[in-house]
């Protein structure tokens, strides 16, 4: 399933990745993560300076920073120890595929379980989440909706 949360006062800012994962019922530590196209409001150690892999515990530690906002970014979740070679990193900024053929949208990296996309400080896009994760997220954020094609 693909879900969109945008333009709401229900969250303090877009995107609080730690809060988003909690709303999904997901523990960052249980996955390996490929992070790409990242832009944040603060500089800190813990995430790669360029696109790259982080372990779940590494990401979980990063998400403890107070008021850490991801303006842009793609977080691709993989089973632990199932890293793939990445020839073309996932992108958020300038990526129109989220708004076209939304029903067929899948994570940008083959093998990713799901993808969390931070979109221009105005939206969070969840790609390939399970129905259970979607229900959990939408119960926490009733303003969230299924991602649909732009008219």
User: pLDDT tens digits for 60-119?
Assistant: 999 998 889 999 999 999 999 999 999 999 999 988 889 887 778 999 999 999 999 999
Q: How far apart are CA 9 and CA 99, in angstroms?
A: 22
For 27-72, write each residue's pLDDT tens digit: 999 999 999 999 999 887 778 778 999 999 999 999 998 889 999 9
- Domain edges within the chain: 2-146
DSSP lists the bridge partners of residue 119 as: 123
Structure tokens at 20: 């988003």
Residue 15's Cα: distance from chain center in Å? Answer: 9
Q: What is the structure's pLDDT at 151?
A: 42
Q: For the sheet with 31-40, list strands across it.
A: 52-55, 31-40, 70-79, 114-119, 123-127, 2-6, 145-146
Residues 6 or more apart in contact with residue 103 via CB below 8 angstroms: 2, 149
Are 115 and 108 a contacting pair, CB within 8 Å?
Answer: yes
Q: How far apart are CA 140 and CA 126, in angstroms?
A: 14
């Amino acid at each position: 399933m693909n879900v969109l949360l945008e333009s709401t006062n229900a969250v303090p800012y877009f995107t609080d990745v730690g809060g988003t994962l909690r709303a999904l019922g997901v523990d960052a530590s249980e996955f390996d993560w490929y992070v790409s196209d990242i832009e944040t409001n603060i500089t800190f150690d813990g995430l790669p300076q360029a696109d790259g892999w982080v372990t779940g515990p590494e990401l979980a530690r990063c998400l403890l920073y107070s008021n850490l906002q991801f303006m842009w970014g793609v977080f691709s979740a993989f089973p632990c120890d199932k890293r793939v070679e990445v020839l073309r990193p996932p992108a958020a900024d300038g990526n129109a595929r989220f708004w076209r053929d939304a029903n067929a949208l899948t994570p940008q990296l083959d093998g990713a379980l799901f993808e969390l996309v931070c979109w221009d400080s105005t939206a969070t896009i969840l790609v390939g989440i399970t129905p259970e994760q979607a229900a959990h997220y939408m119960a926490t954020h009733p303003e969230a909706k299924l991602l649909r094609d732009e008219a």
